[in-house]
Amino acid sequence: MKMFLYQDELYLRVVPGKNLFRSSLVHDVVNRGDIFAVRCSDQQLTVIKGTSQVQHLEGTVQTILPLDDVEELRKQLLAHAKLTRKAKR
């Protein structure tokens, strides 16, 4: 599963199914190099510019988490990302 942090929010990258490419909106977004993503905090589908600076993460979802657990996971990932940034400096 492709995940990333963007503006201190956790997102999941999603790829539209083949049938959705018939939509001009979906086709235009993909052709511009932008991506579809779901914000984990509220499950909102959004479009992120392909040129945006994000921190890529890899992960596997093994269980369905209650919303409170997703928020806790987001906080832990943000803390880890901040530590990683400090270590690279």
**Amino acid found at 25:** L
pLDDT for position 1: 73
pLDDT by residue, tens only, the chain of 89 residues = 788 999 989 999 999 888 888 899 998 999 999 999 999 888 899 999 999 999 888 776 666 666 667 777 778 888 877 776 666 65
The pTM is what? 0.65
Q: Does CATH number 2.30.30 belong to domain 2-88?
A: yes
Strand order in the sheet with 9-14: 44-48, 35-39, 9-14, 2-6, 55-58
